[in-house]
């Protein structure tokens, strides 16, 4: 009996030793396999390069030989290289993609399925809300790790507001029109030199449609309405759509507080060429870098905001895949995410304590301290969404050059119905058109 007990004990000890060795050996092997790798990170936001480099720097202690090469370029170019890179097998190992863009790659099974521990990490409600976990999933399976989101707020020049006698930011869309009229500055011939409200009126691409969607949300509706069973219907010609386009045309051609050719967006705001505009949180870091003396504040929008989520995905195999997931896990370290918010300005998706950043940069207040009834919406993650937004943008740019539409509700509705017809034909082509 003693011999048996001793034998079992020895066996148990041997077994435990073997198990320990295998775990340690695997960890060592993994660390070694990660450490000796070179991986590339592709991003569509040049300002994110600093963040990824910061994360890579922080990994040096644990993975001294891991080389991380960050390639962050403008978004449209990034989308093109991802399309070509993934299909040709020449892509980076870590790819940052918005939910809507990732959808088409996930449909085609072109991105890696994360290991179980990463999937569990994303599904853990302590780490991410259901919204962000779903944004990183496709067909019920987690494929990416949520990193940051685009969420809109109003930026306004407090000096210009004070000069116009405006004590607080606009609370309704009607306020926006009234404020813009008071804030616009004009030369002797009446031509606006400082726009009262900078609106996205040109520049091509889907951004024009996205900004229109944000304003339309404030009027109570969205561009594409879900029709059940994964189907959608274009909704431009709804009351909200008409009200939104009417507002654009009113500001362009009736009160003339903004023109198509005027400087716009963050650059114009930083140079004092516009009194207010709606944009994402990255502007806070941009203003700090380019116009640190600018007196401005942020405010929530009347009804709610768009949320565009960005995730990190992997397209790699073998040791490179292991290294890629290790890098992605490192991006989710709380101190890295606080660094992201503080230094870059994009809002981290992981639940955490970011109060230290909000305390020193009150501009983030409009992004994190939200009214209870604040309503979020997101662009549907369907394959043709980019085509839909780009097509819509082409129509909208045309509308912004038609002064004859201003004030004519029937003509505006008829114009928006042509957009609906076009968008519904795209949805029908893709088998996504509902009733």
Residues that bind another protein (CB under 8 A): 83, 86-87, 104-105, 107-110, 189, 191, 202, 259-263, 383, 391, 394, 398, 401, 422, 429
State phi, psi for 224 to the nearest 5 degrees: -115, 125
Q: Which is nearer to another protein, 169 or 384 (by Cβ)? A: 384
The CA distance from 388 to 209, in Å, is 9
Bridge partners, 331 (sequence order): none
Query: Kind of pairing, strands 145-151 and 304-314?
Result: antiparallel
Q: Least distance in Å: CB of 72 to another protein?
A: 22
Q: Least distance in Å: CB of 287 to another protein?
A: 23
The CA distance from 66 to 53, in Å, is 12
Q: Least distance in Å: CB of 401 to another protein?
A: 6
Q: Quick one: which of 59, 54, 22, 17 has its CA closest to 323?
A: 59
Q: Which is nearer to another protein, 48 or 106 (by Cβ)? A: 106
Q: Which is nearer to another protein, 351 or 418 (by Cβ)? A: 418
Q: Least distance in Å: CB of 309 to another protein?
A: 20
Using an 8 Å Cβ cutoff, are 379 and 427 in contact?
Answer: no
Q: Least distance in Å: CB of 148 to another protein?
A: 24
Q: Which is nearer to another protein, 109 or 230 (by Cβ)? A: 109
DSSP output for 169-180: ---SHHHHHHHH
Q: Which is nearer to another protein, 306 or 432 (by Cβ)? A: 432
Q: Which is nearer to another protein, 63 or 212 (by Cβ)? A: 212
DSSP output for 156-202: EEHHHHHHTT--S---SHHHHHHHHHHH-EE-TTS-EEEBSSB----
Q: Calculate the alpha carbon distances from 196 to 105, 282, 320 in Å.
A: 41, 22, 51
Q: Least distance in Å: CB of 212 to another protein?
A: 18
Using an 8 Å Cβ cutoff, are 89 and 317 in contact?
Answer: no
Would you mind telling me the total number of residues written for the chain in this entry?
A: 435
Q: Which is nearer to another protein, 125 or 190 (by Cβ)? A: 190
Q: Calculate the alpha carbon distances from 101 to 15, 277, 388 in Å.
A: 49, 26, 12
Q: Least distance in Å: CB of 410 to another protein?
A: 21
């Amino acid at each position: 009996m003693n011999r048996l007990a001793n034998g079992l004990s020895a066996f148990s000890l041997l077994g435990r030793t073997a198990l320990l060795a295998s775990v340690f050996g695997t960890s060592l092997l993994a660390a070694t396999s990660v450490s000796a790798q070179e991986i590339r990170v592709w991003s569509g936001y040049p300002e994110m390069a600093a963040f990824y480099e910061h994360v890579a720097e922080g990994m040096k202690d644990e993975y001294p030989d891991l080389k991380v090469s960050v390639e962050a370029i403008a978004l449209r170019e990034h989308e093109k290289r991802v399309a070509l890179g993934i299909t040709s097998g020449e892509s980076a190992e870590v790819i940052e993609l918005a939910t809507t863009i990732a959808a088409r790659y996930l449909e085609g099974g072109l991105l890696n399925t994360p290991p179980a521990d990463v999937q569990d990490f994303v599904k853990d409600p302590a780490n991410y809300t259901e919204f962000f976990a779903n944004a990183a999933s496709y067909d019920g399976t987690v494929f990416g790790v949520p990193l940051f989101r685009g969420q809109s707020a109003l930026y306004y020049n407090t000096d210009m507001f004070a000069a116009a006698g405006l004590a607080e930011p606009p609370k309704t869309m009607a306020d926006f029109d009234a404020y813009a009229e008071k804030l616009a500055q004009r030369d002797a011939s009446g031509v606006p030199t400082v726009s009262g409200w900078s609106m996205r009126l040109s520049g091509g691409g889907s951004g024009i449609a996205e900004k229109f969607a944000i304003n339309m949300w404030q009027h109570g509706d969205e561009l594409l309405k879900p029709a059940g069973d994964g189907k959608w219907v274009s909704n431009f010609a709804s009351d909200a759509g008409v009200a939104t386009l009417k507002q654009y045309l009113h500001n362009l051609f009736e009160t003339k507080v903004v023109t198509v050719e005027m400087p716009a967006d963050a650059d114009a705001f930083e140079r004092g060429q516009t009194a207010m505009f709606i944009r994402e949180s990255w502007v806070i870091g941009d203003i700090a870098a380019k116009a640190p003396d600018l007196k401005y504040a942020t405010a929530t929008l009347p009804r709610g905001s768009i949320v565009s989520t960005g995730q990190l995905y992997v397209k790699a195999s073998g040791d490179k895949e292991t290294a890629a997931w290790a890098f992605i896990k490192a991006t989710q370290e709380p101190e890295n995410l606080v660094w992201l918010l503080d230094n870059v300005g994009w809002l981290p998706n992981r639940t955490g304590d970011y109060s230290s950043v909000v305390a020193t940069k009150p501009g983030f207040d409009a992004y994190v301290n939200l009214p209870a009834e604040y309503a979020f919406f997101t662009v549907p993650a369907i394959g043709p969404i980019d085509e839909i937004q780009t097509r819509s943008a082409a129509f909208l740019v045309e509308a912004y050059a038609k002064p004859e539409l201003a004030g004519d509700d029937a003509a505006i509705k008829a114009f928006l119905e042509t957009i609906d017809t076009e968008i519904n034909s795209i949805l029908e082509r893709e088998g996504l058109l509902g009733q």
